[in-house]
A and B are shown apart, each in its own frame.
Chain A
Amino acid sequence: EDQVTQSPEALRLQEGESSSLNCSYTVSGLRGLFWYRQDPGKGPEFLFTLYSAGEEKEKERLKATLTKKESFLHITAPKPEDSATYLCGGCGSGGYNKLIFGAGTRLAVHP
């Protein structure tokens, strides 16, 4: 059964304090590893798609990387507006291209 596990569950950072979020996955025939940002009471907002081990993508203070078993979301010099829940999801070779999410990491960045 496909599974996505995220850690830590919650993370508190000071503004400017860089860190990484982890996403471990066991997804049969991975077709894409996705990162989303979700603010309270809203739908997820797309950040990145990674397809193969070794791939990296960047957007502003965020950088996502992928290995055969894990993905990391690196946050460099975070700001309070980066506070949100970050969701990792995997799409495998199962039917209908469904996306299975991990439990998420709740990030709080304090001034």
Chain B
Amino acid sequence: GAVVSQHPSWVICKSGTSVKIECRSLDFQATTMFWYRQFPKQSLMLMATSNEGSKATYEQGVEKDKFLINHASLTLSTLTVTSAHPEDSSFYICSAPRTGGVGYGYTFGSGTRLTVV
């Protein structure tokens, strides 16, 4: 149980275009979704926290106008990279706390490899 489905698994886009990444909780309700970015051979860097029905909270240094997060329902959170540039190329992963709280851990999506050319 506690599966988060993330799509697409990879995407290549042209510089200046926007890309949307979706994360769906399949068998539980995700009131909170965390969005991470990971560069090659580096760890997961938290970008923002989305909560269903409210504005996302962004970590320091993350441009909220560039990385638009929407959490319109208890099972869907989206990250849109607007006007993407090559430096936005990275591995993006979402994560949600399992039902019951922190003690039950966090489940992660399978990640999206974004390449901007």
Contact = CB atoms under 8 A, between A and B. Distances in A.
A43 B49 contact: no
A106 B95 CA distance: 21
B69 interface: no
A91 B32 CA distance: 14
Contacts of A91: 102
B109 A99 contact: no
A44 interface: yes
B57 A43 contact: no
Contacts of B101: 97
Contacts of A36: 108
A104 interface: yes
A58 B28 CA distance: 27
A72 interface: no
A49 B103 contact: yes
B111 A41 contact: yes
Q: Is the interface on chain A under 10, 10 to 19, 20 to 34, or 35 or more residues? A: 20 to 34
B102 A31 contact: yes
Given A34-B105, A41-B113, A99 B46 contact: yes
B43 A102 contact: yes
Nearest to A100: B46
A87 to B, nearest CB: 6
A42 B110 contact: yes
A101 B107 CA distance: 14
Interface in A57-111: 87, 89, 91, 95-104, 106
Question: Interface centre among A45, A91, A99, by most B CB within 10 Å?
Answer: A99
B44 A101 contact: yes
14 contacts: A32-B105, A34-B106, A36-B108, A42-B110, A43-B108, A43-B109, A44-B95, A46-B107, A89-B44, A95-B57, A97-B97, A98-B49, A101-B46, A102-B43
Interface of A: 31-32, 34, 36, 41-46, 49, 51, 87, 89, 91, 95-104, 106
